[in-house]
Amino acid sequence: MIREGKTGTGRGWLRGTVLAVIMALVAGPTLAVLSDSTDRIQGTPPTGTVTLQALLPDGTTVVADSATLGWALIPNQFSVSPTVDNPTLSDADGDTGLSAIPDLSSATLNWTHNGTPLTPAQLAAPLGNNFAGETLALTVEAPVTFRSVTGLPAMGVPLHISSPYTLQVAVVIPAQLDISLDSPTAYVEGGTIMATVTARDNVGDPLPGTEIRFLSTGGKTDKMGSAPGTG
C-alpha cells in the first residue's frame, strides 16, 4: 500500500495567506491617510477663537467695547475689520504659520436697542437723531477660516464667530457745543458775510443740520467774519 506523505505545504500556504491578510488590515488605515501627491500624512485642520472687530465710518478706527459713539455717526457706515483681535490658535499636529481669516463678504453688523433691531431708517440716520444718551448693542458676525502654512489639510470648514459689543451714544449738551468759524474762507457777497461755521458735540464730532444764529450788537462786521456780537 502506498501512503501519501504530508509535506506541510498546504498548511504553510494557509498560514502565509492569513498573515498577509492581517498585514493588509494593519497597513490599510495608515495608507489611507497619505496624500497621493505629497506622501505627507494628513492630520487635523487648525482651529481657534478670535474676536471680530468693527470699524468706524472712517474705515480705520476700531470700535472698542464700552466706547462712546459720536452723535453724528451713522450705523450703516460702519464696517467689519479684516483683522481680528485676541486670536487663540491651535493645531493638534503642531503645524505652524497659523492664521484666522474672516469672510468679509458674508460678515454682518447687527445693531439693537433694548433687544430690538434698529429699523432701516434708524440705520441710515445719525445716532443722535434717535439714540442720544442711549445704550446700543452691536454684534459682529462672520465665518472665519483657520489656516496653517505647514499642515495638511491647511484649513478646515469655516467657523461662525459672533462678537458682541456694548456701546454708548454721546449726549448732546448745548452748553458743551464747540462752535468754530473758518475765518480764512469767509467772504462778502452782496453785502452778506459768507462763512463756514462748524458745530461739534461733546466728543468732538460734527453736528450736521445744527441751526446757528449770530446776533449783531450793532458794530461793523469785517470781511473776515469778525464782529462785536454774540452767537
The pLDDT tens digits for 64-108 are 999 999 989 999 999 999 999 999 999 999 999 999 999 999 999
Query: Which pLDDT value is given to residue 60?
Result: 97
Query: Which pLDDT value is given to residue 179?
Result: 60
Helices (H), 33-178: 120-123, 127-131
Compute how many other C-beta atoms are within 10 angstroms of the C-beta atom of residue 161: 19
Q: How far is CA 131 from CA 38, 122, 168, 180, 202, in A?
A: 59, 9, 9, 25, 15
**Among 163, 220, 172, CA closest to 193:** 220
Residue 22 has pLDDT above 50, yes or no: no
Compute how many other C-beta atoms are within 10 angstroms of the C-beta atom of residue 110: 13
Q: What is the model's pTM?
A: 0.62
Query: Which pLDDT value is given to residue 182?
Result: 62
